[in-house]
Amino acid sequence: MRLKALPPFAGVLTGVAAGTIVAILLPGTLGSALGLVFTGAGVALSLRALESRAAAQREQLLAGLGEVKVRLATNAIRIDSLSQRVEQMPMRDVDAAPARAAINELTAEVGLLGDLIHQVATTLADHDEKLARTAVQPAPPAVPAAAPEVVIDPEAARRERAERLAAEREAAAKAAEAEAEAERAEIIGAALSEGRLEVHLQPMVSLPQRRTQGYEALPRLRLDENTLLMPHEFMRTVEERGFGPTLDALVLTRALAIARHLGAKDGKIFVSCNFSASTWESARALATLARILDKYRDHAGQLVVEVPQAIFRALHPTSLGLLGAMSANRVRFALDQVADLRFDPQALYDRGIRFVKIPASLLRSYDEGRLQSDIAVGDLAALLGRASVALVADEVEDNPTAADMIELGIGLGQGLAFSPPRPVKPEVFAEPEEAQQSPQSKPPGAPAEPARSAEIVGYPAPPAPAAAAEPARPERVPFRSVLRRATG
């Protein structure tokens, strides 16, 4: 007979029976005591048997869980192999889609079952560890707390797994985006440091004659022979990486070269340019640009600097003083990116503003009554004109819009309806030829100095002109000889 095959309560029955027999055979106190001893021994044997059987059952359960995990891993490998076979089979995507979906579903179910079994094994191990700690260090008597019930929710586990995968993908996408942005910033910074900036000009015309009154210089960044970036493609990187002062210095020098060229042909035509937001917020950057303008003040009369309305309203007093210094060098300013009509024309003129550029869509919104204003749009041009400020209708995209602007009495317009931005010829940025100076200012035989012009960054210096042969000077004849010949 195997002792382990007996039921756990067999020890209790044996101990009680032995104790009863001893108590009967040995009357008195000794018999009763021996009977109790035999009964207690039987109870202890029963408890020991119960513990041994529970431990054996737990070991069998853990072994079964381990075997299930092994089988699940084997099935997962088989499913993966099946998926690879399906991918290698010559099927169309339409026919292979159901099989792929079924394989993916099976893979998800196997992974979910594996997670649940692992959770059950972990719970059992924690329970055994807590029992062992309780047996070694008994807790003080207290109200026993109910053990938390382990709730296995397949849908919650699947949702948690999907959220974890989505978070990992999002983190990988952000890392790739940051790496691409850093590479892009490096390329843009290298292009700016090498001066690979191009300027396209869009004319501002008079209405309704459409005669060119000025040009706006729009920057383009040349990365290579086939890649030309528009402002919206690199301005955000320029602002975030602190490249604004470098870009504005390049734009200003190009604009000054164009102003020099326009001044030589027709002094009434001007050129306008924009500065980045970081430059307007930095008094140091504005001071650098003001020094450039002071150095080339001969060409500043044909230059107009555009200031966004929001930035103009938030300018620091130091920046306003630098604008005054630029205005003293005959630089004019234009209020750009106007969002509302709340401004004082006389105050604008006192701060150097000579042009106000308002989008045509905003003017039409005020004219059609979709936006309310204290100033009638039809009277706006005349109101600004009395303060010597010109109104420019910006972003005029088609001829009907241009006709509406003419009806509103606006004298200047800019947009695709008149001309798209066009590149500047390279000879515009070339240094002018040597200026001939009078004999009174320079001694005879002294070489003539080239006229001062804008410093163009990134363009090679033009070759020095070849020395020309000195023309023969005409023979000076006394006036009496000329008069004698005329009366002879």
Q: What is the CA radius of gyration of the chain?
A: 47
pLDDT at 93: 65
Tokens coding 317 = 């007093």
Q: What is the 3-state secondary structure of the chain?
A: CCHHHCCCCHHHHHHHHHHHHHHHHCCCHHHHHHHHHHHHHHHHHHHHHHHHHHHHHHHHHHHHHHHHHHHHHHHHHHHHHHHHHHHHCCCCHHHHHHHHHHHHHHHHHHHHHHHHHHHHHHHHHHHHHHHHHHHHCCCCCCCCCCCCCCCCCHHHHHHHHHHHHHHHHHHHHHHHHHHHHHHHHHHHHHHHHCCCEEEEEEEEEECCCCCEEEEEEEEEEEEECCEEECHHHHHHHHHHHCCHHHHHHHHHHHHHHHHHHHHHHCCCCEEEEECCHHHHCCHHHHHHHHHHHHHCHHHHHHEEEEEEHHHHHCCCHHHHHHHHHHHHCCCEEEEECCCCCCCCHHHHHHCCEEEEEEEHHHHHHHHCCCCCCCCCHHHHHHHHHHCCCEEEEECCCCHHHHHHHHHCCCCEECCCCCCCCEECCHHHHCCCCECCCCCCCCCCCCCCCECCCCCCCCCCCCCCCCCCCCCCCCCCCCHHHHHHHHHC
What distance in Å separates the CA atoms of residue 370 and residue 383, rounded to the nearest whole number? 22
Paired sense of beta strands 390-394 and 353-359, if any: parallel
Query: Domain 181-429, what fold?
Result: TIM Barrel (3.20.20)
pLDDT at 427: 74
pLDDT at 4: 55
Ramachandran sector of residue 15 (left: φ over 0; alpha: ψ -120 to 50; beta: rest): alpha
Taking only the tens of pLDDT, the chain with its 488 residues reads 455 556 666 666 776 777 777 777 777 777 777 777 777 777 777 777 777 777 777 777 777 777 777 777 777 777 777 777 777 777 666 666 777 777 777 777 777 677 777 777 777 777 767 766 665 555 555 555 555 555 556 778 788 888 888 898 889 889 988 888 889 899 999 999 898 899 999 999 999 999 999 999 999 999 888 889 999 999 999 988 889 999 999 999 999 989 888 877 766 899 999 999 989 988 888 888 888 888 878 888 889 999 999 999 998 888 888 888 888 888 999 999 999 998 899 999 999 999 999 999 999 998 888 888 888 888 999 999 999 999 999 999 999 999 999 999 999 999 999 999 999 887 777 665 543 344 344 444 444 444 333 333 333 344 444 444 455 555 555 544 544 444 44
Where are the domains positioned within the chain?
A: 3-135, 181-429
Are 399 and 430 in contact by the 8 Å Cβ rule? The answer is no
Are 428 and 257 in contact by the 8 Å Cβ rule? The answer is yes
pLDDT at 262: 84
